[in-house]
Structure 1
Amino acid sequence: MSAVGKGGGEEGRSGRSGAPARRPASGGREVPGTFGPKWGKPVGWVLSRTLWSVTRHGLDNVPADGPVLLASNHLGFLDGPLLMGMAPRGTHFLVKKEMFTGPLGVVLRGCGQIPVDRTGDRGALVTAVAVLRRGGSVGVFPEGTRGRGDVAAMQSGVTWLALQTGAPVVPVALLGTKRAGGSRTDLPRPRQPVHVVFGEPVSLTPRAGVPRRDALQQATEDLRGAMTAHVHAAVELTGMPLPDDVERPAGPGRS
């Protein structure tokens, strides 16, 4: 199976919307309505189109309707807004809860994004499950934080969501959102080329006769392999490499 898969070119598509009303998830949190990502998407699109030279690849790999998980590598500060605007469907992203403060928090909630505590937050996962079960699209950065973007540090949350709902996982490779040598909060230079590459959907199914914890670990390794292969294929496709370094926290002997 090709990691990049079908082309699709620069064609936008929109999926069918699910239930428009907000309702509580089984974990007690409110499930975001379907309208938020629809008005948030043009905002991300305008920013991406006016400030940077963004090319999308493999749009046909994203199902036009039904539940889907968009799982992306994570390089820089731009990744979230960029993918929100460039995804062919309105998508609810899992966003670290620290971002939901002040005016930005109002915007994120208005866009239907889901706050998550990165130290462990089953409530956010339950909310994401509810979105998927109504046929929605959920976006996840499985690495949990910005880094080199090779998906080596992928965590198991996206795998758990896929196994719980049967939603296919579309690997996404973002390239050009962080400059080599730049910090994790730097933005690309104006009009710099940026690529968003959607890969072929990956279906994960529980393995019969395997304990749940082991099945989750095995499926996570399978997905990590598929996502790593997709990132490498995207680098080959676009000719744009990953950054050469990762910002490391200051410590003894470091300035």
Structure 2
Amino acid sequence: MTAELTGHQELPRTDDLPSLPYRLGGVLRHVVRPYFRLRYDLTIHHEDRFPRTGPVLVAPNHLGLLDGPLLGATAPRMLHQLGKIEAFGGLQGKILHLAGQIPVDRSTYDVLAIRKAIKVLRDGQVMSIYPEGTRGRGDFRKVRVGVAYLAMVTGAPILPVALLGTRLPGGDVERFPPWGSRVDVVYGTPFTVDRVPFPRRHTDVRAVADQIGDVLRAHVQAAVAATGHPLPGKPEKKDPDE
């Protein structure tokens, strides 16, 4: 029995799940990337910190509508991203599914979405999850337990990402910033937390989430200081799905 198969049979098991598609996602990345570089004054900082092999748990802050498409198009590797289930309807939903993205029902404990995310990491791929859970100030003042749980189950390194300029100060979370806007993507230093076998108590996961939050907050503060690009503050319109 291979080590990979053994990993998939640990709780929660993922050996019964098919691998997520990625080819369309790879094509879309290459098509959309030049568009974003043309539309925005885009600077990528410390891209060399992005691990080129093995599982990676990408942890960006969440400011606005641009975050997911921008990071998916410009990251050095193909990203599988968790997205709210409301975005997976109609033609857009079919494209997102074929591009290897994972819908998550935020109104409940979505076991299938979590298992799919774990499988991505166990397969040595890149999983992106917003630790804040929804669009807002982007300062990581509140970090949900999902990122901690995935890290504790898989042992995947966590890569902090500070997105700056994806929403203008006081801007609407449902709108893209205007043409020519300055946008900075700042990668942090990957770090790990201890891998914990089943069972994992909620109190322990919450404690690890708080520790991760400390690292993420420090990273976004350092990114703001280094770039001189401030966070936009409170959004004009609250995310209707919060």
TM-score, scaled to structure 2: 0.87
Aligned to 1:159: 148
Paired letter, 1:183:
D
Structure 1, residues 105-144: CA drift from partner, whole Å, max 9, x if none?
Answer: 1221121111111122121110011111111000111111
Aligned to 2:8: none
Unaligned 5+ residue runs, structure 2?
A: 1-12
Unaligned 5+ residue runs, structure 1?
A: 1-24, 251-255
Structure 1 residues 117 and 211, CA, compared in 2 at 3 Å: closer, same or farther?
Answer: closer
How far apart in 2 are the matches of 1:43 and 1:118? 30
Is 1:101 the equivalent of 2:89? yes
**Of 110, 118, 133, which residue of structure 2 is paired with 1:121?**
110
User: Offset of 1:248 from its aligned partner?
Assistant: 5.3
Aligned to 1:139: 128
Is 1:214 the equivalent of 2:214? no
**Of 19, 25, 42, which residue of structure 2 is paired with 1:54?**
42
**Of 61, 67, 75, which residue of structure 2 is paired with 1:73?**
61
Paired letter, 1:53:
D
- Secondary structure of the residue aligned to 1:152 is coil
User: Offset of 1:185 from its aligned partner?
Assistant: 1.1
Structure 1, residues 140-163: CA drift from partner, whole Å, max 9, x if none?
Answer: 111111101001122110110011
Paired letter, 2:61:
N
Structure 1 residues 182 and 146, CA, compared in 2 at 3 Å: closer, same or farther?
Answer: same
Structure 1, residues 67-125: CA drift from partner, whole Å, max 9, x if none?
Answer: 00111100010000000011111010001111111121122112111111112212111
8 Å CA contact 2:21–2:98 kept in 1: the answer is no
Paired letter, 1:180:
P
Is 54-63 or 43-52 further displaced after alignment? 43-52
Alignment of 1:174-253 (within 5 A): 174-206=163-195, 212-247=201-236, 249=238
Paired letter, 1:82:
L
- Secondary structure of the residue aligned to 2:70 is helix
Paired letter, 2:165:
G
Is 235-244 or 30-39 further displaced after alignment? 30-39
Aligned-pair identity (%)? 40
**Of 67, 82, 91, which residue of structure 1 is paired with 2:70?**
82
Structure 1 residues 206 and 138, CA, compared in 2 at 3 Å: closer, same or farther?
Answer: closer
User: Offset of 1:36 from its aligned partner?
Assistant: 3.5
The total of aligned residue pairs comes to 226
Aligned to 1:42: 30
TM-score, scaled to structure 1: 0.82
Structure 1, residues 159-213: CA drift from partner, whole Å, max 9, x if none?
Answer: 10011001000010000011112111121110111001110012011579x9722
Structure 1, residues 228-250: CA drift from partner, whole Å, max 9, x if none?
Answer: 00000110111110013233559
8 Å CA contact 2:149–2:205 kept in 1: the answer is yes
